[in-house]
Structure 1
């Protein structure tokens, strides 16, 4: 195990027994300072988003690589370090799979989010490390199948470096934030990451995200696409394989468009590809039959409280369209002035909602209260409420001028 971010000539050891794990917990607890944490999944290979490798680094303790399926619960480690600061790069990507094994931080520093708030133009780990630490970090294994066993040594070297540099990176990003007067902003954002709801285990209405579904014409064809997607999803979950590796989206869309009238016709459809397209032909044919027999047809847009796409606002709600355009322009100026990406100043969804249906009256305090209800942080409200108020006033004046000119 390494106690510094330098490359190690010794093979990296993966902790895969409870005895080794408990020994590592004691060593990590005796270390000093924050704990750098990362997790590797098998996205694109497996259906689940579980962690297949968890990496930790702490000064005066070293680097630790854990095999989560073998270790099981990490509750003892969580008890030992939950009150300490945990350092991540893009924490939102790892928190769910860590919580799944009992690791749940109470205080974090996110170097990716911190770099965004600091105004760095590119925030990938390799780029930020090279920019702030002067170290080139190869990322050739980022899309690997981490469920592979045993894990190749080159992958372990890559995984270890991801955490061995994070403590130094946290200090560098922290200095940038403090120098820019953004330390308090970052603290609010990091705390907000921890409060975000976990991603739902059920994929629910995910079929609406089927790539290419917008090209399907006809309600019955869309019903077939939905049934095919759901059949693939169930099978992928059953065998823990990424759905697209079984039958790609394009193949499902092709079958929904072709509407084959028999299993043989489906088998003959050359666009219906994928490694499970023929081995599970009966499964896909049953889905097609279910879609063909549907009495009610689905729609691509859900029935929730989603807003219409902004491109249609000029026809459906012209005043809201003017408000949104004015607010977006003003927010872009504020973003440039503060050197914070506009989507970090306020989520595009919150800006659309407040523009579509603003509070009445639409003063800064009322707008601030509405933004708070939409999940905005105090610093975001302080920065944006008055900007939005002024933009709405200007939009209203422009609308009145247009009406006067037309009359």
Structure 2
């Protein structure tokens, strides 16, 4: 077993770039973060493999600037597993592909039931790939040898996996489908930051729009400030559940806050002044958050029968139709068409009820050409049948 070393100096980095330039074919890329340990989602290790060049493990915080590597591999096909997870942190250091082959997405399109890298490698290559370090703190320095071995194997098998998968995609007539999906991964824009990210606190929607809700906001903001300053995952400082305990209790003194047994976490007592100051701001403020934000989120489908019965029938008919297509094509339903697209189409309906209109609506929502080709006609037929039945749900027999 080779001894894995991490490239952490500029000179070694440039030597590696020269070696990679002499390689051939696609470039396998992976990145390791420290999710759950650090505030940032930066890459703490970047792995790369190319035939004719070998494998390389880069230390992004030490190297900093990856432009020389980008200039060498930028126009090549990059092979990643679950590319959407790694592209943000790769782009953060200047690594940005123009073409990818996503082996996780490819596995979904092939109808493989388990799409984790270890499972797919075992299914298609017959190799057992241990995944025991996937949730490790990759900001650790120095990185243990066993972690480096795990990280290198993640990319060293990707090219063989890509080649095996490409053969199967061609046999199933899905190469063009895969190409469109891979292009969509590269082109997808990052989500804009939430205007009020504190509302992601679990259980916050149950609080009344009063000082309690203001306390939840102020506590979240105080924790976020500390987490950002110390580059620590917020939940490791004080868990969400503890913030909610304090917001519901709304203590009127620092001592009362400190006395809440369920207000726990590694920083719950060492930073008690910070949390009490947040509570004080909430108690003093006149800026009370509204209970609900304006949103274009649709109501849950379970409520449609009462709130929009015509849409409920359209959705149920269309789901049944697309499930049949999914089974026929061996493509998971969620990959056949983004579920939110179907819900939005069913909620408002289509006028005029024609194939061209359905196609236009799907395109406007962001469906890929292959998805429109496979789904537009079944959706149209489902909506027509819903209209012919009066778009009224059947009355259940007692």
Determine if the TM-score, normalized by the shorter chain, exceeds 0.5: yes
1:257-301: per-residue Cα shift (whole Å, max 9, x none)?
111111110100000000111111121112222233343543564
State the Cα deviation string for residues 198-239 of structure 1 (Å, max 9, x = none): 244x45422222123344355432221122112211221121
> In the alignment, which residue of structure 2 is the partner of 1:261?
252
Q: Indicate which of 369, 374, 379 corresponds to 1:378.
A: 369
Segments of 5+ residues of structure 1 without an aligned counterpart are 1-7
Q: Distance in 1 between matches of 2:393 and 2:82?
A: 46
Q: Which stretch has the larger CA shift, 206-215 or 177-186?
A: 206-215
Aligned counterpart, 2:382: 391
**Alpha-carbon separation, structure 2, partners of 1:301 and 1:179:** 50
Q: CA RMSD in A?
A: 1.8
- Of residues 168, 174, 188, the one that matches 1:196 is 188
Partner Cα distance (1:169, 1:401) in 2: 49
TM-aligned CA deviation for residue 14 of structure 1: 0.5
Length-normalised TM-score, structure 2: 0.95
Contact map agreement 2:204 2:244 (CA 8 A) in 1: yes
Aligned residue for 2:390, secondary structure, equals helix
Give 1:302's aligned residue: 293
1:155 aligns with 2:174: no
Q: Secondary structure at the match of 1:94?
A: helix
Partner SS, residue 79 of structure 2: strand
- Inter-partner Cα distance in structure 2 for 1:261 and 1:403: 55
Q: 1:250 aligns with which of 235, 241, 244?
A: 241
Q: Which runs of 5+ in 2 are unaligned?
A: none
Shift of 1:365: 1.2
SS at match of 1:36: strand
**Could you report, residue by residue, the CA deviation over 1:104-138 in whole angstroms, capped at 9, with x for unpaired residues?**
00011000000000000010000000111111111
Deviation at 1:372, TM superposition (A): 0.9
Q: Are the aligned partners of 1:90 and 1:112 in contact in 2 as well (CA < 8 Å)? A: yes
1:403 offset after TM fit, Å? 9.4
Q: In the superposition, relative to structure 1, how do residues 203 and 234 fare at CA in structure 2: closer, same or farther (>3 Å)?
A: farther
1:348 Cα deviation after fit: 1.1
Tell me if 1:86 matches 2:86: no
Aligned equivalents of 2:203, 2:250: Cα separation in 1? 16
How many positions carry a matched residue from both structures?
A: 396
For 1:3-402, what aligned pairs fall within 5 Å after superposition?
8=1, 10-200=2-192, 202=193, 204-217=195-208, 219-299=210-290, 301-399=292-390
Q: 1:38 to 1:301 in 2, by over 3 A?
A: farther
